[in-house]
């Protein structure tokens, strides 16, 4: 289980995350929603041990992010949106293999995992090509593969389909569903309500670092008497209801 209890993060006088509490269970996809600046990426960075919480606790499969950061890092795979940052002069295979070595994996296990991921993410035909001329979607797939080469139990996806065409986004979505079928713990941030409705079992909505609502999509639609998740979201974050 991934569990946050009263987690806060301050940058000088700015409170980016404010007493945030929620959990994600095994085999569950939870969507973390909020406007730009709401604290989503800060929350993901705290879970991944890249930032230390100012207050509260975060546990990843029983490991505390402050007390056991190295063990937490072994439990998670994380993909941040935006620039994927893979090494252009290396092939897709070499990019992924490099991260496997960083995780201390044997060559045999690395080779096996690369074969699995190449199939799952439909990368087989370009595994040995240099990454510098890859499309955005091809680079995103390599970035995902290297983040999860070590078979982590907890998956953190920050805008995983940003900038992808329909075909590439579909492959990513199918892969996320495969992770769910393998009973992984998945936390996903997205600005696409269609993506959220397609993928997520529950959603957690934050605004200015605070939790404003959480529940299943069906629950929220019923509670707010609307079939439009975008309308519900805008109402909750103070944007009003669009007519």
Task: Calculate the average pLDDT of the chain.
Answer: 90
- Taking the C-alpha atoms of residue 118 and residue 168, their distance in angstroms, rounded to an integer, is 14
**Better-predicted residue by pLDDT, 83 or 213:** 213
The model's confidence at residue 83, banded by pLDDT at 50, 70 and 90, is low
Domain coordinates of the chain in residue numbers?
Answer: 2-236
> Which pLDDT score, from 0 to 100, does residue 68 have?
95
> Which pLDDT score, from 0 to 100, does residue 81 have?
65
- Taking the C-alpha atoms of residue 82 and residue 217, their distance in angstroms, rounded to an integer, is 26
- Taking the C-alpha atoms of residue 114 and residue 148, their distance in angstroms, rounded to an integer, is 10
- Taking the C-alpha atoms of residue 103 and residue 90, their distance in angstroms, rounded to an integer, is 18
Percentage of residues in the chain having pLDDT higher than 90: 67
Q: Residues 150-160: pLDDT tens digits?
A: 989 999 988 88
> Which pLDDT score, from 0 to 100, does residue 240 have?
42
145 Cβ contact list (under 8 Å, min separation 6): 92, 96, 114, 117, 118, 121, 123
Helix intervals (H) in the chain = 40-47, 69-75, 92-102, 107-120, 136-147, 166-181, 193-199, 217-223, 229-236
> Which pLDDT score, from 0 to 100, does residue 242 have?
36
| Tokens standing for residue 44 | 């993901």
- Taking the C-alpha atoms of residue 150 and residue 72, their distance in angstroms, rounded to an integer, is 13
Q: Residues 30-53: pLDDT tens digits?
A: 999 998 888 998 999 999 999 999
pLDDT score of 78 more than 70 = yes
Fold that domain 2-236 belongs to in CATH: Rossmann fold (3.40.50)
pLDDT score of 243 more than 80 = no
> Which pLDDT score, from 0 to 100, does residue 241 have?
38
């Amino acid at each position: 289980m991934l569990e946050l209890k009263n987690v806060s993060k301050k940058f000088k006088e700015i409170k980016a995350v404010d007493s945030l509490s929620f959990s994600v269970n095994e085999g569950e996809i939870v969507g973390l929603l909020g406007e730009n600046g709401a604290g989503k990426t800060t929350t993901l960075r705290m879970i991944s041990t890249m930032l230390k919480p100012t207050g509260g606790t975060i546990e990843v499969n029983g490991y505390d992010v402050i007390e056991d950061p190295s063990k937490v890092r072994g439990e998670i795979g994380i993909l941040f949106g935006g620039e994927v940052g893979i090494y252009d002069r290396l092939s897709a295979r070499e990019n992924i293999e490099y991260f496997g070595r960083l995780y201390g994996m044997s060559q045999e296990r690395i080779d096996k995992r690369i074969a699995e991921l190449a199939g799952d993410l439909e990368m087989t035909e370009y595994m040995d090509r240099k990454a510098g001329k890859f499309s955005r979607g091809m680079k995103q797939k390599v970035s995902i593969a290297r983040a999860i080469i070590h078979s982590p139990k907890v998956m953190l996806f920050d805008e995983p389909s940003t900038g992808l065409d329909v075909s590439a986004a579909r492959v990513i979505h199918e892969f996320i569903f495969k992770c769910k079928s393998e009973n992984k713990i998945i936390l996903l941030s997205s600005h696409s309500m269609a993506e959220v409705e397609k993928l997520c079992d529950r959603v957690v909505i934050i605004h200015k670092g605070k939790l404003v609502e959480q529940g299943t999509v069906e629950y929220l639609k019923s509670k707010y008497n609307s079939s439009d998740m975008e309308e519900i979201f805008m109402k909750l974050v103070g944007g009003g209801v669009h007519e």
